[in-house]
Amino acid sequence: MNPLKRKIPMLIARQASASARIQSKQFHPLHGYYKLLLENPITPANPLPPTSPKARVIFGTRLAGPTERHEARRKGGRVVAGVWIPPKPVEPDDCCMSGCVNCTWEMFREDLEEWRDAKGKARAALAKSGGGEEEIGKDGEGGSEGGLWEGFEDIPVGIKAFMEMEKKLKEGKRV
Per-residue tens of pLDDT for the chain, all 175 residues: 555 455 554 545 445 544 444 444 556 778 888 888 878 888 877 777 767 666 555 555 445 566 666 677 677 788 888 888 888 888 877 777 787 777 788 888 888 888 888 888 988 888 888 766 555 555 444 444 555 556 666 777 777 787 788 778 878 765 5
How many domains does one find in the chain? 2
How many C-beta atoms lie closer than 10 Å to residue 109's C-beta?
A: 23
Question: Do both 114 and 148 map to the same domain?
Answer: yes
Question: What's the pLDDT at 40?
Answer: 84
Q: Are residues 31 and 95 in the same domain?
A: no
Q: Is 132 a member of any domain?
A: yes
Residue 147 lies in a domain: yes
How much is the pTM?
0.48
Residue range of the domain that includes 11: 3-39
**18 and 84 inside one domain:** no
In a domain, 48, yes or no: no
Q: Does residue 162 form part of some domain?
A: yes
Same domain, 35 and 95: no
Pair 156, 92: CB distance under 8 Å? no
Q: Closest Cα partner for 94 from 48, 55, 125?
A: 55
32 found inside a domain: yes
pLDDT of residue 158: 77
